Structure 1
Amino acid sequence: MWTLQELLAPRLLLFLSRDWEILGTKAELAEELGQTTPIPVSILRFEEEIRDVSVAQRMSWASRRETTRIEDEAYCLMGIFDINMPMLYGEGRKAFQRLQEEIMRTSTDTSLFAWGRVKNCKWDDLAPRNNQHDHFVPESYLLAPNTLSFSDSGSVKFDPHAGFPVVSGDVQSTLRRVKSDEGK
């Protein structure tokens, strides 16, 4: 078993079999790793810098990972976001909230807020519903409750010149249409 940082950080990483036979390097196995993890091959091969990938995409890499302690869901991401914060075991989910607050403090990347129903959503899905039939809607909060909330955010990119996250598919075309309507 490996952690996300152990896979991302080293330039040279050897994969070995149970019998200590070399299976290949991270660069050689990048295609296979890219198919089994949500991490782009360009990141695994150091062709693209991690800091150039949107916050939402980086969060999506951790969305299916499981940790022994709840706090480690946040603490294991500190290096990926270049965040320093005290580790306070016993705080539970508050650790993930603190991580997001530190990301907000140190980054202008608003894709941090592109979590929840991102894939195949329509413009109306982006706003939380507030009618009597709806119950607790986690998407109505600014910060995500956990990394799993970013599982559909792997295609979210951030363009600092646009001022908002850019999502592929329906949402992206809707955002373009809305922006052009604003100019009229």
Structure 2
Amino acid sequence: MKFLNGLEPQYDLTYSDVFMVPSRSSVGSRLAVDLSTNDGTGTTIPIVVANMTAVAGRRMAETIARRGGIAVIPQDIPIDVVAEVVDWVKKRDLVHDTPLTLTPHDTVGEALQLLPKRAHGAVIVVDWDNRPIGVVTDADCQGVDMYTQLSQVMSSELLTLPAGLEPRSAFDRLHDGRHRLAPIVDADGRLVG
């Protein structure tokens, strides 16, 4: 974008403040524009999340970044918190969702607080060395006292997938095993996604 007559305002502008002047372009059609990213995510449509406190938080920033978009952190958030969120988001995996984890000694009540935070509706139970040992879903928590430890209700028969596995192979393994999700583990068996 350029401003006419070489003038550049010293303040922010909105759509109400400007008039967009059509200009010649070498693009023959808007359908000929390729907006796909080069990071392997396959995203073709740019997404920007509004800087609203109720919308653009850490989780939204992570999710949208994974899909090639960007979240604008609200201006009323302290700068040190913004720096922490940006650093955290940049360390997330491009393919695997950041897992929700609890220990075998945590309670059903704690799991029920976390379960709605992911679309897959599962919490991975990990040991002291961050190795997955079970999974808890909403169905595991039904009809159980809120203070019951997860070791009593978790499913311990886990399908784990190695980090770096091709997405199609991962899908095939999930499908063949009739699983909705699987923890992703590194070469040492530690949870990564």
TM over 0.5: no
TM-score (norm 1): 0.30
**Which gives a bigger RCO, structure 1 or 2 (Cα 8 Å, sep 6+)?**
1
Q: Which has the larger radius of gyration?
A: 2
TM-score (norm 2): 0.29
Q: Which has the higher helix share?
A: 1
